[in-house]
Structure 1
Amino acid sequence: MPAYMLAHLRKAGKPHPEVLEYLERIQSALDPFSGRFLVHGAEVDVREGEWPGDVVLVEFPSLRHARDFYGSDAYQAILPLRREHLEGDLIIVEGVEPGHDSAAMAAEIRRATAESPR
């Protein structure tokens, strides 16, 4: 199952030179883990709530690939270049199986909550 690394990075004005170095080096750190950018610097169209900043979304073949990438020596070596100059949040999350059915998921939740005592 695919996994995703999602970052919400706050806008910081003119990019620091170290952030540019991070950008120059990130793909070579992703490549050994088959990571690929799905969203990177696109305009954010906020429909609900607030989203002050940018979105970065990277896809990996599995949760293990994503976690191994984040912990890799190559990524840890460049991480401070971004982290010291951009405020943000980052999560790793597993995707859903092909054919995921949210109605079936709701039915399972209804069944589980009906069976459990309050």
Structure 2
Amino acid sequence: MPGYLIFEIEITDEAAWQHYREVAGPIMAAGGGRFVLSGDRIESLEGGWQPATISVVEFPSADAARQFYHSDDYQKVVALRQLASRGKGILVDV
């Protein structure tokens, strides 16, 4: 069953964000991940949740998503994401 990384992101530095995406994208793809959605046109329906952007990345399994996230290669670029944005992330195992 697939596993999903879901991130709520507020981009604080657009140039740094673009650099992060260029570096992180190939690492994610090599780990089997693919974007299901990424967008900023969000309508709050309940609870007042109003994230700036949402990204959902599907992996072949929750273990694959976990391995990607905790991999040495990706952990080296987490600081780039944190420099460029504020956010929250979860792993969903379906």
Q: TM-score range by the shorter chain?
A: 0.7 to 0.9
- Please report the TM-score for the alignment, with normalisation by the length of structure 2: 0.87
- Unaligned segments of structure 2, at least 5 residues: none
Match of 1:44 among 42, 62, 86: 42
Distance in 1 separating the partners of 2:39 and 2:77: 19
Aligned identity (percent) is 32
Answer with 1 or 2: which has the greater Rg. Answer: 1
Please report the RMSD computed on the Cα atoms of aligned residues, expressed in angstroms: 1.5
Structure 1 counterpart of 2:59: 60
Distance 1:11 1:18, change over 3 A: closer
Relative contact order higher in (CA < 8 Å, ≥ 6 apart): 2
Aligned residue pairs total 93
In structure 1, runs of 5+ residues without a counterpart are 96-118
Q: What is the rounded CA distance, in whole Å, between the counterparts of 1:92 and 1:52 in structure 2? A: 17
C-alpha distance in 2 between matches for 1:41 and 1:75:
22
Alignment of 1:69 with 2:68, yes or no, is yes
Structure 1 length normalisation: TM-score? 0.71
